[in-house]
Amino acid sequence: MLAQAQSLVFPFYRQPTPGYGFECIYAVDADIRVLTSVTTDELYGDLAHSGVVIYRDFGDTLQDFNDFVSAHSSRVTFDPARKTSTANTAEIDAGFHEMGLHRENGNLPFNPDIQWFFCLEAAAVGSETTMCDGQKVLFDLSAKTRKLFESRDIKYSRRIPWSNVKRFLSVELQIPFEKITDEHLEVVNREVPGQTHRRVDQNLIHSQLIIPAVEISCFSGRKAFCNSMLGPSVNYEPPRITSENGDEISLDIWDEVKDVTSRNTYSHFWNKGDIVVIDNTRVMHGRRRLDDPSRRIFGAQSYSKWKWCRQIPA
């Protein structure tokens, strides 16, 4: 009797992932949609608390997911290497290999605040999405390593095809693709601290980004080890990653980063209809080996509606 009365009052309930504390919210009834159940303040409050929100057993369609992303973002962007599938989302096709933990677009000059995922078809086995809370990683690193990353930025250097750079700048600067020229590379070089583009030839742009490995979460306001040091480069040349002055990062430090992040990595096994929202300024994500290619996941990236979010000094 009591359980019934409670389920009427609470159409969904929370069960944080054991050991990791990511917010996991279950619908009591599949008629309930995330789109019509959650306000921006509630979503952002959960992100501030937990870094990740997982919605399960709700009845949202792909279009609902698209609208959900719009409703809680100031602006939606795309990964320039992916094919667009709805107005705001793109189906993810990132090969079969395991994909390392990364901050979305973490080695590009513009990083979205929020990463969104929707599961249209679940895998029968494996293929989990991985998530790692950079606030916990920072806490677990040795004092020496933490101080190193807090006192020195890291540098990503690599060459990117001009067509990919053009697509990326077209989305981020909101300028039509065919209007992007070398002048826009110069604008970004001037406006984005740490970013330097240099033309190699008609096909390639050399990109160098100097950026902190430790970010301040724009939702929680706390420091987090959040970067793309371990990230994949499915669609691009892998970057060379060094200290800001060009010094190699020692193998001991790399070993510690791999060890501490893997200890703090949660693997999310998808159910059809799951929606996952990630604070991209705090939590890194990746994927286990793709064991079932029939799995279909859609993703989106966007900026927060909280204006102060962009103004927290680094």
Applying CB under 5 A, the residues found at the interface with Fe ion are: 104
The smaller minimum CB distance to Fe ion, of residues 13 and 269, is found at 269
Shortest Cβ distance from residue 301 to Fe ion (Å)? 8
The smaller minimum CB distance to Fe ion, of residues 67 and 104, is found at 104
The smaller minimum CB distance to Fe ion, of residues 33 and 282, is found at 282
Strand partners, 208: 157, 196
The smaller minimum CB distance to Fe ion, of residues 95 and 193, is found at 95
For 294, what's the count of Cα atoms within 13 Å in the CB-facing half-sphere? 6
Shortest Cβ distance from residue 299 to Fe ion (Å)? 7
Shortest Cβ distance from residue 143 to Fe ion (Å)? 30
Shortest Cβ distance from residue 72 to Fe ion (Å)? 19
The smaller minimum CB distance to Fe ion, of residues 80 and 253, is found at 80
| Close Cβ partners of 221 (under 8 Å, ≥ 6 residues apart) | 48, 312
Shortest Cβ distance from residue 296 to Fe ion (Å)? 16
d(CA 203, CA 213): 30
- Would you state the structure tokens that stand for residue 116, as one six-digit string? 């969104």
d(CA 185, CA 108): 13
| DSSP percent split of the chain into helix, strand, coil, nearest 5 | 30, 30, 45
d(CA 18, CA 16): 6
d(CA 287, CA 197): 30
The smaller minimum CB distance to Fe ion, of residues 104 and 215, is found at 104
CA dihedral for 241, 245, 247, 252, sign (positive or negative): negative
Q: Name the 3-class secondary structure at 159.
A: strand
Shortest Cβ distance from residue 118 to Fe ion (Å)? 14
Residue with tokens 């290497």: 81
Cβ distance 111 to 105 under 8 Å?
Answer: yes
Q: For residue 116, give the DSSP letter.
A: E
CA distances from 309 to 15, 54, 68, 196, 303 (A): 27, 22, 20, 25, 9
d(CA 50, CA 220): 9
Cβ distance 306 to 218 under 8 Å?
Answer: yes
The smaller minimum CB distance to Fe ion, of residues 214 and 278, is found at 278
Shortest Cβ distance from residue 241 to Fe ion (Å)? 17
Select the residue whose beta carbon is closest to Fe ion and give its number: 104
Shortest Cβ distance from residue 116 to Fe ion (Å)? 11
The smaller minimum CB distance to Fe ion, of residues 104 and 128, is found at 104
